[in-house]
Amino acid sequence: MNRFMKSPLGMIAALMLSLNTGATEADVVAVVSANNPVNSLSRIELINIFLGKSAQFPDGTPATPIDLHETAPDRQVFYAKFDNKSAAQIKAYWSKMIFTGRGRPPQTVADGEALRQLVAKDPNAIGYLDEALVDGSIKVLTVN
């Protein structure tokens, strides 16, 4: 331990730096194809699509959710942000739905780039990814 870390000021600075690392967490947004007419969804509508409780957008068109792989950090951020659920809670939910025959989880992809490409090609697809990956082929939904 160096002299700086032994001082109270140094310890406070180190603590603040370590706490600040979480502040750079990705801004995860819900996205659809640029060709999809939907511009906004309520939180409930969004989560109902991803939990298999709804298979369509509010205008009646089919909705095909695309999920990131269950260990993807952006997946954890998405469910925490829009449904206040942890990765373990989402996994338990889908285990129950599969076991009881009441549903199947959305298709999963390895990363945000793969998700962006799938959503861009399919006007019925809906997904989520780091806002930094958004380009002209997809659009960010306003979630109320």
Q: Which two tokens stand for residue 61?
A: 């068109």
pLDDT for 12 beyond 60: no
- Type of residue at 133: L
- Please give the Cα distance from 62 to 28 (Å, whole number): 23
Report the domain count for the chain.
1
Selection from 144, 140, 105 nearest residue 34 by Cα: 140
Residue 5: predicted pLDDT: 46
The answer as to whether 80 is a domain residue is yes
CA distance linking residue 111 with residue 102, whole number of Å: 27
Count the neighbouring beta carbons within 10 Å of the beta carbon of residue 129.
Answer: 29
pLDDT of residue 22: 41
Q: Is residue 20 part of a domain?
A: no
**Residue 117 maps to a domain:** yes
Confidence of residue 26 (pLDDT cuts 50, 70, 90): confident
Cα separation, 58 vs 44, in Å, equals 11
Q: What percent of the chain has pLDDT over 70?
A: 83
Phi-psi domain of 94 (left: phi exceeds 0; alpha: psi -120 through 50; beta: other):
alpha
User: Does 78 map to a domain?
Assistant: yes
Examine residue 13 and state whether it is found in any structural domain, yes or no.
Answer: no
Q: Residue 112 belongs to what domain range?
A: 26-143
CB 85 within 8 Å of CB 75: no
CATH assignment of the domain containing 87: 3.40.190.10
Q: What is the DSSP string of 63-86?
A: -EEEEE-TT-HHHHHHHHHHH---
Q: Is residue 87 part of a domain?
A: yes
Residue 15 lies in a domain: no
Give yes or no for a contact between 105 and 52, defined as CB atoms under 8 angstroms apart. Answer: yes
* 121-132 confidence digits (pLDDT tens): 999 999 999 999
pLDDT digits (tens, 9 = 90+) for 36-76: 999 999 999 999 999 999 999 999 999 999 999 999 999 99
